[in-house]
């Protein structure tokens, strides 16, 4: 039940999601995946419930597995990976922020996850980043966007600029938190590469590996809603999400025998099972795709 609660709370919306094997979501201008796209899946790869998935090798970004990897789909709270990247680049993590966002009110209005910040609190950017990545706080996303750029729209422009700098072509952000919006979309490949970029930032990589964190406030410790950390040996994070349109989404990373892989699955019916099965297969059935020199 704890897993189900996570899926239902991470992004808001009703308590039911469409089966990922039902009517295909074609994204923003994306067609139903062609047989050629589906043929990219190796014959011995596990069957998954997700509509699209990608696995990349962390050191060089080589694509190890692709199933409809460039199909445009809603990301849900995986959006917050890009939010964190922009914040880490443009703000000092020790800066103190005077909070203007009311988390409890936002939760009541949108039925979405929050870290629970309230106007007048003074917290560091680092504290709020933990609320963004561990608790998947939509209030944290809005507060960080306001702090970095003055308003949410200007911050979203930086998010889209970042994906362009990384050469990612299947993503468009319209908000910093991932609640469903007609113009918000990404792909499994783009999300895997954004996850890879997060792991290359030591401060952010450390955050997503934590089970809990205590901000400098009178409130409780923040717990990591990503249950993959406790379920999969060698897990390194990174982020999960859920909305009505997106279904279950995940970017997961793990390390085994010195090899580090990142998997992204979109429109999943069982995000932890899908991510674990794909990582097991990749570690056991594929050779490292990056050179050692």
In a domain, 187, yes or no: yes
Element (H, E) at 230: helix 228-231
Question: What's the CATH number where 31 sits?
Answer: 3.40.710.10
In a domain, 106, yes or no: yes
Q: Over the chain, what is the mean pLDDT? A: 88
Catalytic residue among 9, 17, 52, 80: 80
Catalytic residue among 17, 52, 77, 268: 77
Element (H, E) at 250: strand 247-256
Q: 119-172 pLDDT, tens per residue?
A: 999 999 999 999 999 999 999 999 999 999 999 999 999 999 999 999 999 999
- The Cα–Cα gap between 43 and 292 comes to 27
In a domain, 293, yes or no: no
In a domain, 55, yes or no: no
Catalytic-residue membership of 77: yes
Catalytic-residue membership of 19: no
List the structure tokens of 124.
Answer: 């560091």
What percent of the chain shows pLDDT beyond 70? 86
* Distance spanning both ends of the chain, measured CA to CA: 47
In a domain, 150, yes or no: yes
- The Cα–Cα gap between 22 and 126 comes to 40
- The Cα–Cα gap between 32 and 26 comes to 5
In a domain, 291, yes or no: no
pLDDT for the residue 219: 93
pTM of the model: 0.87
Q: 82-119 pLDDT, tens per residue?
A: 999 999 999 999 999 999 999 999 999 999 999 999 99
In a domain, 292, yes or no: no
Total residues found in the chain within this entry: 293
Q: How many domains would you assign to the chain?
A: 1
Q: 165-209 pLDDT, tens per residue?
A: 999 999 999 999 999 999 999 999 999 999 999 999 999 999 999
HSE-up of 40 (CA within 13 Å, CB side)?
A: 18
- The Cα–Cα gap between 62 and 148 comes to 32
pLDDT for the residue 265: 98
- The Cα–Cα gap between 272 and 245 comes to 19
122-124 and 96-98 beta bridge pairing: antiparallel
In a domain, 290, yes or no: no
Domain extent, residue 133, equals: 2-50+60-285
pLDDT for the residue 292: 57
Catalytic residue among 9, 52, 107, 136: 136
């Amino acid at each position: 039940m704890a897993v189900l609660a996570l899926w239902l709370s991470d992004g808001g919306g009703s308590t039911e999601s469409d089966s990922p094997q039902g009517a295909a979501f074609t994204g923003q201008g994306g067609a139903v995946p062609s047989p050629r796209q589906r043929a990219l899946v190796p014959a011995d790869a596990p069957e998954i419930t997700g509509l699209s998935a990608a696995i990349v090798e962390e050191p060089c970004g080589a694509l190890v597995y692709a199933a409809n990897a460039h199909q445009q789909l809603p990301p849900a709270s995986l959006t917050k990976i890009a939010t964190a990247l922009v914040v880490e680049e443009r703000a000092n993590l020790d800066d103190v922020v005077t909070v203007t966002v009311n988390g409890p009110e936002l939760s009541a209005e949108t039925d979405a996850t929050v870290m629970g910040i309230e106007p007048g609190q003074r917290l560091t950017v680092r504290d709020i980043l933990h609320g963004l990545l561990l608790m998947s706080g939509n209030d944290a996303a809005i507060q960080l966007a306001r702090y970095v750029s003055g308003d949410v729209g200007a911050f979203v422009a930086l998010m889209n600029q970042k994906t362009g700098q990384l050469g990612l072509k299947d993503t468009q952000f319209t908000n910093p938190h991932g609640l469903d919006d007609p113009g918000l979309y990404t792909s499994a490949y783009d999300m895997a590469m954004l996850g890879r970029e997060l792991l290359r930032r030591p401060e952010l990589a450390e955050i997503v590996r934590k089970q809990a964190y205590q901000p400098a406030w009178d409130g409780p410790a923040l717990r990591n809603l990503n249950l993959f950390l406790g379920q999969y040996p060698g897990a390194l994070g990174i982020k999960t999400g859920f909305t009505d349109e997106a279904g279950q989404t995940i970017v997961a990373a793990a390390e085994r025998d010195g090899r580090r892989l990142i998997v992204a699955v979109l429109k999943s019916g069982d995000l932890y099972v899908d991510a674990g099965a794909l990582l097991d297969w990749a570690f056991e059935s594929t050779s490292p795709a990056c050179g050692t020199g």
